[in-house]
Structure 1
């Protein structure tokens, strides 16, 4: 065999090995994808989401995929909302329970709550720096910004909704209804008419996220917990007195009951559709002191009338995905009207993160995170970045759409 013939043979063998290697890789990829699509139940711990295991830490290798492997198009229409060539990034970790992300368009920073640590955190867009924004925060949970750029916060410890004015003062918007103290306001959204709508479940009535009731109260029936421990002198603990309702704060200051516990038990996250003609409300699990059945991890929707009355209540979704309950918490709509909901799938690895639904209630996409996700919001200079407050960390990913409404 001549040298030229040997060279041609070696070249052919190299090409054959390359093709065979690519075929094996492609087959493995297809098999993995088929397995993921065919999965009918939760992955058993300690299974990781991606293979090989993905390091979300600041020193972890960047994703090398054109489409992030943890952004899943359940329906092809999601490809128009998901942004290619961008990766999910963990921006910060070291929290106890991250909640209530809200974007300040004027300040170009993200604000969120670290409830058990009794503080609010801030991530600045220009340099990615994270700092403590407000401490103590009265165990604040949900945050938002109104149409005037003022911060709104739901406080567990003080059982109230607070607005921070431009001059630095704080205004208590609501702390009671019909003379009875609120439970623990959870999430709040602004309406163009100047009103604020908020949910009032009982989750702040526990040691970890606020304070238990006084002895004999629903969340401290045995009286063995001391709600004064760790609080400043003169602190007066409260007692659960109201059902888990939703309220509207009128621009005049009047507080109206808009959703009863019978309609949506244990209401949590809420948001308006882009045209403010629909209100979405997440109904989460049974809370401390609940005597009824409690929420079942569902999302409800109702029509908003010109008189601010709600009608046509219906279940929007039971949040079951592949037989797994992806319990909703925080909610946000994009400008197309799609609903982005945080997902708490408990121990079902690979199902916590975000679920995305059309206005008709069809699941079209998922974002998988290695932690339970509590709440989401759109932000960034173009409002096209989804921020996800998830357990001990803050995550973000760019999208091909924009969030609707402020905050």
Structure 2
């Protein structure tokens, strides 16, 4: 080898190293996969959504060139509800278990519960600012706004449903039934007749989302848990006394039982059809202190008559999609009567998010999120933006329909 040949080899070597560094190890590995198969790092877990995994944050690369790849049409009927050029956006993250999104039409803000952190958060539509709205919130879960624009909240810790009045005062709408304390109200919806309907499962009867029963109660039978630790005076002293039921709060203040535990065990999310002649109720899994088997992750439908009785109850959907159990939670109807349900599929990759059913219970669309979804609501000035409460985050996507009810 001449001296000139040596210089040429060194130049080629430097050139190759420079190219490798510029392209990155991934580019080399991709081009020489067989040679690196035995020495490369093990692959990461599969993406819960698109491949390659997307960045939902404000600094992430664009993903939407016509329709979002994680808004999925199952039946062509769903296409009319998909808004082209609208991307799923993560608006905020940082919660522990995010629930109960609700839209204030007058205030143009979204409020939601961060249950374990004992606070309500607020997102402002004009500039995207997020701040603590109420703290403590008594471990509130479901929220909504009634036809007069007043916020309704279900409080796990206080075992009650409350209304925040326009003057800032708080009205307790329900905290007992026939002299017995409620379990932990979960979700609430208003009716045009001035009544409020709510579910009362037992999920607040645990350390993480409220307080366990006092010693001897169903969720603390041995009394090992100190239910008053970390609580204000008067909290953590109640015991579960009632089955898991669905109730109606009459405008007079009377609380009536409308659906019993024998019909829908562990009722969770609920909503009315646009004409208020049908009530949908999610039945989730067994809760703390349940003596029976608990819910099976189904959505039920009931006819509602002029007498406010719930009749002809039946399973609307078992929420099985491609053989995967997509546990329902919060639900909302659009103006065409389609049901938009939160989906909690746990570790089943790609099935967490939202399921969309037509009024005949046919699955027509899905929205995939990188976290389990606990609840949804329609909002925005035109009520055409779907807000989704993931486990730790809030997501939103514009759709080509509107929510049927306020909040």
Counterpart check, 1:121 vs 2:121: yes
Tell me, in whole angstroms, the C-alpha distance in 2 between the residues paired with 1:48 and 1:312: 38
Counterpart of 1:232? 232
The residue aligned with 1:181 is: 181
Q: Is 1:396 aligned to residue 396 of structure 2? A: yes
SS in 2 for 1:202: coil
State the distance in 2 between where 1:290 and 1:65 align.
48
CA contact (8 A) 2:218 2:290 kept: yes
Q: CA separation in 1, counterparts of 2:235 and 2:377?
A: 33
Provide structure 2 residue ranges, at least 5 long, that are not aligned to the other structure: 1-43
Report if the CA contact (8 A) 2:269-2:330 is conserved: yes
Q: Distance in 1 between matches of 2:357 and 2:234?
A: 47
User: Counterpart of 2:76?
Assistant: 76
Measured after TM superposition, the shift of residue 237 of structure 1 is: 1.6
| 1:90 and 2:61 are equivalent in the alignment | no
Q: Distance in 2 between matches of 1:64 and 1:352?
A: 20
Q: Contact (CA 8 Å) 1:45, 1:347: kept in 2 or not?
A: no
State the match for 1:38 in structure 2.
none
Separation in 2, partners of 1:234, 1:292: 29
Which digits, 9 at most, give the CA deviation of each residue in 1:133-179, with x for residues without a partner? 00000000000100000000000000000000011100000000010
In the alignment, which residue of structure 2 is the partner of 1:194? 194
Tell me how far 1:234 sits from its aligned partner. 4.3
| Map of 1:356 onto structure 2 | 356
Match of 1:60 in 2: 60
Partner SS state of residue 219, structure 1: helix
Contact 2:157-2:235 within 8 A present in 1 as well: no
**Superposed, which structure 2 residues align to 1:362-377 within 5 Å?**
362-377=362-377
Asked if the contact 2:114/2:121 (under 8 Å) is kept, the reply is: yes
Q: Which residue of 2 aligns with 1:138?
A: 138
Distance in 2 of aligned mates of 1:89 and 1:249: 36
Question: When the two structures are superposed, what TM-score results if normalisation uses the length of structure 1?
Answer: 0.88
Task: Look up the match of 1:297.
Answer: 297
Quote how far apart the aligned CAs of 1:235 are: 3.4
- Please give the secondary structure, in 1, of the residue aligned with 2:213: coil
Q: Which residue does the alignment assign to 1:282?
A: 282
Q: CA deviation at 1:49?
A: 1.7
1:221 counterpart = 2:244 = no
What's 1:269 paired with? 269
8 Å CA contact 2:157–2:236 kept in 1: the answer is no
Deviation at 1:359, TM superposition (A): 0.4
CA distance in 2, matches of 1:401, 1:141: 26
Structure 1 residue matching 2:373: 3-state secondary structure: coil
1:110 aligns with 2:114: no
- Moved segments of 4+, more than 6 Å: none
Residue 347 (structure 1) aligns with: 347
Question: How far, CA to CA, are the matches of 1:182 and 1:395 in structure 2?
Answer: 31
For the residues of structure 2 that align with 1:48 and 1:254, how far apart are their CA atoms?
A: 46
Q: In structure 2, what is the Cα distance between the partners aligned to 1:281 and 1:222?
A: 33
In 2 relative to 1, CA 215–405 (structure 1 residues): closer, same or farther, beyond 3 Å? same
Measured in 1, the distance between the counterparts of 2:45 and 2:227 equals 36
Which whole-Å deviations, capped at 9, do the CAs of 1:365-403 have from their partners, x for residues lacking one? 000000000000000000000000010000000000000
Do the aligned partners of 1:334 and 1:401 also contact (CA within 8 Å) in 2? yes
Compute the displacement of 1:58 (Å).
2.5
Question: Deviations 1:1-55 (Å, cap 9, x if unpaired)?
Answer: xxxxxxxxxxxxxxxxxxxxxxxxxxxxxxxxxxxxxxxxxxx953442112101
Q: Look up the SS of the partner of 2:78 in the other structure.
A: helix
Whether the 8 Å contact between 1:301 and 1:313 is mirrored in structure 2 is yes
CA distance in 2: counterparts of 1:146 and 1:392, whole angstroms = 26
Measure, in 1, the Cα distance between the counterparts of 2:180 and 2:78.
45
* Partner of residue 29, structure 2: none
Residue-by-residue CA offset, 1:302-343 (whole Å, 9 max, x unaligned): 000001011111100000000000000000000000000000
For 2:176 and 2:235, the matched residues in 1 are separated by 17
Q: How many angstroms does 1:259 deviate by?
A: 0.3
Deviation at 1:65, TM superposition (A): 2.6
Post-superposition offset of 1:293: 1.0
Once residues 285 and 220 of structure 1 are traced to their aligned partners in structure 2, the CA distance between those partners, rounded to angstroms, is: 19
- Alignment coverage as a number of residue pairs: 364
